[in-house]
């Protein structure tokens, strides 16, 4: 029998590149400390030999050297790939994957947790959280008790989306919903709207709280700033309520509800934005067929995914300067559904 080829070692790489074995180890571990200086041409020569030989570092040796598996967990409280929500989660996952590849980490999608009432739980009898160096948490609502346990156990993690403290501060990368909503309210006020209504989803998620906070903060000069809690299936009732109240612009947290309101208004012979302006407060969480360019904002989902990897790796290797809590600006979308209240005023 032919003996199997001998495995290439770091010593072989060092000999072929004409450097010390310590230099090879530093290049493999991507060390860039101020006290470790490797000439670019030397680093390039080592990397070229590694590529030519197909060398693969022993993962156990690398773990012992760096205390970092370079495996990042991704946990989604809602199923990540159902047909109804893939469009919303997809950009987050794209950003996570892109930056994980850039920093040389593998992703471990933690899917073994059973789904109960449409939600997963991190901690269950078969959880494999410890296979990863740390974890990125995705979900509209994240269980505060589980965040508390992660904090208590000292397990590295970062939440996508602002989260309230849970037995300690929570590292997160979120969207600045409050500022985005406040900006849209200011635009509506500048166009003459004075009777505003906010239609919420009736949840206590931090993202919902932030949107409502931004609305209330900016609507202080309005004649009326009401609030309703409703879903898309109640669109006809909502439109009747808005017309009776004299509302001229409605700010809708859920995109599907905004689409339903526009359809309900048309069924009553009303025009948007002539009789009623409609402003959406985020991207669709489920696929909603519509050709209308709604006025609103876009959530920086891909960038949130990218920066969550950046924050998590900093937490894991200790390079993050203190607690990381980032809010990223949303992009305002002009759209065609926010007009002036002239005709709505005449109607009243």
What percentage of the chain carries pLDDT values higher than 70?
86
Quick one: which of 272, 287, 283 has its CA closest to 338? 272
Domain 177-298+333-347 -> CATH class: alpha beta
Per residue in 136-185, pLDDT tens? Answer: 999 888 888 889 999 988 899 999 999 988 878 999 999 999 999 999 99
In the prediction, which pLDDT does 345 show?
43
286 or 282: which leads in pLDDT? 282
Looking at the predicted structure, is the pLDDT value of residue 38 above 90? no
**How far, in Å, CA of 228 to CA of 198, rounded?**
6
In the prediction, which pLDDT does 1 show?
43
Question: H helices of the chain, where?
Answer: 10-17, 21-28, 40-53, 59-66, 86-102, 144-153, 177-190, 206-218, 235-245, 255-267, 301-317, 342-347
Pick the CATH number of 10-65 from 3.30.479.10, 3.40.50.970, 2.170.150.70, 1.10.260.40: 1.10.260.40
- The CATH number given to 71-175+301-330 is 3.40.50.2300
CA 239 → CA 199, 231, 250, 272, distances in Å?
A: 11, 12, 10, 12
In the prediction, which pLDDT does 343 show?
52
Using pLDDT thresholds of 50, 70 and 90, give the confidence band for residue 220: very high
Looking at the predicted structure, is the pLDDT value of residue 36 above 70? no
- Is the Cα dihedral 325, 331, 336, 340 positive or negative? positive
**How far, in Å, CA of 163 to CA of 149, rounded?**
15
In the prediction, which pLDDT does 59 show?
52
The pTM of this model reads 0.78
In the prediction, which pLDDT does 346 show?
42
Q: Do residues 296 and 279 lie in contact, with contact meaning Cβ atoms separated by under 8 Å?
A: yes
Per residue in 48-85, pLDDT tens? Answer: 888 888 776 655 445 435 567 789 999 988 766 654 54
In the prediction, which pLDDT does 2 show?
47
Which residue shows structure tokens 């166009």?
Answer: 191
**How far, in Å, CA of 176 to CA of 191, rounded?**
24
Q: Do residues 88 and 286 lie in contact, with contact meaning Cβ atoms separated by under 8 Å?
A: yes
Domain ranges of the chain: 10-65, 71-175+301-330, 177-298+333-347
Quick one: which of 281, 277, 274, 267 has its CA closest to 333? 281
Six token digits for residue 151 = 């904090």
- Indicate the average pLDDT of the chain: 85
- 3-class secondary structure, 176: coil
Using pLDDT thresholds of 50, 70 and 90, give the confidence band for residue 348: very low
Q: Do domains 71-175+301-330 and 177-298+333-347 have the same CATH topology?
A: yes
């Amino acid at each position: 029998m032919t003996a199997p080829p001998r495995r290439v070692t770091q010593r072989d790489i060092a000999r072929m590149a004409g450097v010390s074995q310590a230099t090879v180890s530093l290049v493999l571990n991507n060390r860039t400390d101020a006290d470790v200086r490797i000439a670019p041409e030397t680093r390039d020569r080592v990397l070229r030999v590694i590529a030519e030989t197909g060398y693969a570092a022993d993962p156990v040796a690398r773990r012992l050297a760096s205390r970092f598996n370079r495996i990042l967990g991704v946990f989604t409280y809602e199923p990540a790939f159902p047909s109804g929500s893939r469009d919303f989660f997809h950009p987050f996952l794209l950003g996570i994957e892109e930056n994980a590849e850039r920093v040389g980490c593998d992703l471990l999608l933690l899917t073994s947790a059973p789904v109960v009432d449409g939600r997963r739980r991190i901690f269950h009898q078969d959880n494999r959280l410890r296979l990863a160096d740390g974890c990125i948490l995705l979900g509209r609502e994240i269980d505060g008790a589980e965040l508390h346990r992660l904090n208590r156990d000292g397990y590295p993690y970062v939440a996508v989306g602002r989260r309230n403290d849970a037995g300690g501060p929570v590292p997160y990368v979120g969207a600045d919903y409050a500022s985005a909503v406040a900006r849209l309210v200011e635009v509506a006020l500048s166009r003459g709207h004075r009777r505003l209504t906010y239609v919420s989803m009736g949840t206590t998620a931090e993202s919902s709280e932030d949107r409502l906070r931004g609305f209330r903060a900016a609507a202080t000069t309005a004649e009326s700033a009401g609030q309703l809690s409703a879903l898309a299936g109640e669109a006809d009732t909502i439109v009747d309520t808005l017309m009776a109240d004299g509302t001229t612009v409605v700010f809708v947290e859920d995109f599907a509800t905004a689409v339903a309101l526009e359809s309900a208004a048309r069924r009553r012979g009303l025009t948007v934005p002539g009789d009623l302006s409609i402003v959406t407060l985020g991207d669709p969480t489920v696929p909603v067929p519509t050709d209308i360019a709604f006025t609103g904002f876009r959530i920086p989902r891909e960038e949130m995914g990218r920066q969550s990897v950046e924050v998590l790796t900093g937490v894991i290797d200790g390079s993050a300067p203190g607690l990381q809590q980032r809010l990223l600006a949303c992009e305002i979308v002009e759209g065609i559904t926010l007009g002036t209240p002239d005709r709505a005023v005449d109607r009243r």
